[in-house]
């Protein structure tokens, strides 16, 4: 796939911890999952991925990672399957990323979102509880689990009070993870990250990939909201590094079980400002088309990552500008190699 996929940069991994370590990843074909699996494979881990759908355009397949991991086909709600995988592959570290992650889909299809995000998390945690070799479980919550708050930024003591379908699904999954740590001594920690962006995100209705693709096609990018919604954007390679660091820290200090950690660049960026940054980097004079159609979404949110900095020694390696530059390079290469995604425009 050309030079758009260089070696993993940023925070290093402990080679002695990951070498030949049996690791289970759910959601490996997603945005964060692809980069996390890449990082784990490069670190020498023995990776098993659970995949529900075959996504040939995903990083997992496009980079050849699919040939370097063990793949189990199935649904994260299938507890019996999860128990079999954890037992037969003698898994020690689990990264639970599988979820329905699109807010608009959650608004249209709340039940499937609840099943994937809530039942999937409880099934995975119960399977881990019944699998004695599992020593670390890192499960993905979200900044959306906090819901709409008047006090910003969110820290880990902020109540979980999602109100809309996606937010509620993350609040529930987050609380379930905590309950397994408290009630069953499960070695689980929770991540709450800002809005991920980066190469490999093929959900074109998300603002970053959608904007880049539109500009490359010579079309005005579309903003579903009024453009004033404020988010905390977090580059995906920083996310993958945070996850592996958290697993290492949990292994060093099992008392971390039950904790939650925010990971964030601690920035506040409106949707319209983000689109304008992308347009500027791409040298485009196109103007965004603002639809003002968004509903059931939080207007303003961003995170404090002070706890992760102090307890884990974590810091992000990429600024928003650096992350966008790498993201843009990825999509320019991807769309040039996949012509069906990038039709020629008239001069």
Query: Which tokens belong to 100?
Result: 């329905």
Q: Kindly give the pairing relationship between strand 260-263 and strand 188-193.
A: parallel
Using CA atoms in the order 336, 291, 223, 142, what is the torsion angle rounded to 10 degrees? -130
- CA 208 → CA 79, 133, 198, 221, distances in Å? 35, 39, 8, 10
**CA-based nearest residue to 117, from 145, 85, 156:** 145
Query: Which tokens belong to 211?
Result: 């904007």
As beta bridge partners, residue 269 has: 231
Whether the Cβ atoms of residue 23 and residue 91 lie closer than 8 Å to each other:
yes
Beta-carbon contacts of residue 257 (< 8 Å; ≥ 6 apart): 181, 185, 186, 187, 188, 189, 250
User: d(Cα 140, Cα 107) in Å, to the nearest integer?
Assistant: 20
Residues carrying an active site annotation: 166
User: d(Cα 125, Cα 131) in Å, to the nearest integer?
Assistant: 10
């Amino acid at each position: 796939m050309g030079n758009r996929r260089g070696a993993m940069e940023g925070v290093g991994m402990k080679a002695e911890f990951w070498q030949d370590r049996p690791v289970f990843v759910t959601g490996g074909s997603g945005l964060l999952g692809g980069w996390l699996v890449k990082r784990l494979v490069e670190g020498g881990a023995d990776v098993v991925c659970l995949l529900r759908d075959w996504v040939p355009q995903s990083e997992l397949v496009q980079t050849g990672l699919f040939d370097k991991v063990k793949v189990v086909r199935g649904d994260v709600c299938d507890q019996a399957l999860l128990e079999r995988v954890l037992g037969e592959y003698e898994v020690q570290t689990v990264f639970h990323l599988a979820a329905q992650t699109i807010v608009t889909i959650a608004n249209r299809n709340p039940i499937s979102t609840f099943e994937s995000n809530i039942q999937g998390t409880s099934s995975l945690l119960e399977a881990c509880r019944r699998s004695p070799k599992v020593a670390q479980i890192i499960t993905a919550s979200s900044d959306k689990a906090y819901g709409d708050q008047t006090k910003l930024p969110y820290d880990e003591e902020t109540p979980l009070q999602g109100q809309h379908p996606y937010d509620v699904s993350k609040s529930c999954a987050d609380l379930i993870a905590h309950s397994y740590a408290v009630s069953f001594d499960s070695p689980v920690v929770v991540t709450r990250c800002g809005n991920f962006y980066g190469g490999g995100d093929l959900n074109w209705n998300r603002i970053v990939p959608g904007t880049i693709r539109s500009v490359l096609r010579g079309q005005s990018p579309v903003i579903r909201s009024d453009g004033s919604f404020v988010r905390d954007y977090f580059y995906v390679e920083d996310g993958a590094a945070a996850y592996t660091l958290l697993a290492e820290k949990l292994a060093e200090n099992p008392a971390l079980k039950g904790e939650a950690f925010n990971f964030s660049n601690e920035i506040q960026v409106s949707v319209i400002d983000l689109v304008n940054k992308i347009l500027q980097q791409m040298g485009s004079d196109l103007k965004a088309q603002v639809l003002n159609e968004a509903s059931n979404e939080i207007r303003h949110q961003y995170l404090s990552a002070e706890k992760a900095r102090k307890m884990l020694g974590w810091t992000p390696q990429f600024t928003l500008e650096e992350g966008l530059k790498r993201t843009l390079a990825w999509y320019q290469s991807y769309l040039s190699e996949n012509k069906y995604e990038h039709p020629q425009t008239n001069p």
